[in-house]
Chain A
């Protein structure tokens, strides 16, 4: 046995050769996130006359592999705000912890002052923009929903660049292409929101989740949906199943997938 303590626990030089100390070097280029790894797909949200509906499926994909099927991507912040996450799941978990500690800090001391959805959205956009400016972005695109300072429905998006956008209907990821045009039939601009009922909004979102499951290869038929109103607060259901699917159209499609002919 080698009596020199420096060598203990190391591969023996006489067998493996001299250990290359350059592996221990900490200097060198700092690697930041270049791409998301485990990802969530679309998040959809619609404003209706006295609240907001938001939905996202429960899938976390590892590339094209449907790796985790019980991942909840709608995260309530408090009883008047909720964030829906698309993009990298580990960054979502980081942001979730960040928002959790923010909420805890906000609730120290006397009550009465709560961060509303608009405050939360402003904060998140600063966090995202800070990280992109460090060349180390959090790889997410999020929808922030809830009630603003006047208890009016609030819906806005923020992405990995810190870009913000607001509209009566919003969808991230693939949903931006597939669901957004369908949702706009419901409310094209802010003035039409007053005619949208809760039932209509929920039905439209569920229909869009179905369309996305048909056409988005990174989606799942189990999903979460939340309705936020002044009266009811955040009503979140996390294990919903898509209903009334019809794959009849798929029968005639040829040319991809696992078909032999």
Chain B
């Protein structure tokens, strides 16, 4: 009945040095639908594949704007992500209130990392069953961070988590050297194409199941940032068209991309 004796709580190591509850939490992340994040020198993009539980239901929200300068994409238990995102919203607001400063991305990620780590060390708690990609802009530029239920956080150039995310990661690795100098539009395109790679044969990206969030540095305007913008529903239509058009027009992978860069 039990897989083993060492998975009843999150504070007991197995003789092999593993903490099974934390590993199970990581499995929950792999069951969530895929999300992709990429950072360039000027922008960050989060792209997500939304799922509906049944034909008659709405699609589960995958990208959450936290503050003007950053947002997150989630894979795993959406309710755990809601708890974490509410916490992040409070922290971001507190930073604005007490210092008049938008909270640095690294700081806020550190805080959820610490929070998640404590629940792997307290008998009465369980780890969060959600992985996050946190993307935004602060005074040191654009940043993308990955967060795992274990409490691990790390800064990434590009990242994909969730079900079938390996295909998206392969796409990201193949195009890694292009991201840094990509424009806003190119970055969105790469994000959507990476997401498309991870789809199963019978699925397609549509205005219903795709979701996208962008932030960036701006030349001027309020605090010189481009406010976190979430594209959902009909709004994402033109972006999808632009991305999928170019990829279909030039199916030969290498030739297609060199043309993208030129335009």
Contact = CB atoms under 8 A, between A and B. Distances in A.
> A and B from one assembly?
yes
A115 B106 contact: no
Interface in A87-130: 109-110, 112-113, 115, 118-119, 122-123, 126
Nearest to A120: B99
A123 B97 CA distance: 8
A113 B107 contact: yes
Q: Is the interface of A mostly helix, strand, loop or mixed?
A: loop
B139 A119 contact: no
Contacts of A113: 104, 106-107, 138-140
A180 B139 CA distance: 35
A126 B94 CA distance: 12
A123 B98 CA distance: 5
Counting chain A CB atoms within 10 Å of each CB, which of B97, B101, B106, B107 scores highest?
B101
Contact of A119 (B99, B106, B223): B99
A149 interface: yes
Interface residues of A, number: 11
B7 interface: no
Contact of A122 (B98, B106, B138): B98
B93 to A, nearest CB: 13
B251 interface: no
A112 B104 CA distance: 10
B67 interface: no
Nearest to A118: B100
A109 B97 contact: no
Nearest to B223: A149
B134 to A, nearest CB: 16
Interface residues of B, number: 13
A21 B260 CA distance: 87
Interface string B79-107: 00000000000000000011111001011
A110 B97 contact: no
A118 B100 CA distance: 8
B98 A109 contact: no
B68 interface: no
Contacts of B140: 112-113
Contacts of A123: 98-99
Interface in A152-171: none
A109 B106 CA distance: 9
A197 B37 CA distance: 49
Contacts of A109: 106-107, 110
B98 A126 contact: yes
A126 B223 contact: no
B113 to A, nearest CB: 11
A115 B99 contact: yes
Interface of A: 109-110, 112-113, 115, 118-119, 122-123, 126, 149
14 contacts: A112-B104, A112-B139, A112-B140, A113-B107, A113-B138, A119-B99, A119-B100, A119-B101, A122-B98, A122-B99, A122-B100, A123-B98, A126-B98, A149-B139
Interface of B: 97-101, 104, 106-107, 110, 138-140, 223
Given A122-B100, A126-B98, 11 more contacts: A112-B104, A112-B140, A113-B104, A113-B138, A113-B139, A113-B140, A115-B101, A119-B101, A126-B97, A149-B139, A149-B223
Sorted from nearest, which 10 A-B pairs have the closest CB atoms?
A: A122-B100, A119-B99, A113-B104, A112-B140, A119-B101, A123-B99, A126-B98, A122-B99, A123-B98, A119-B100
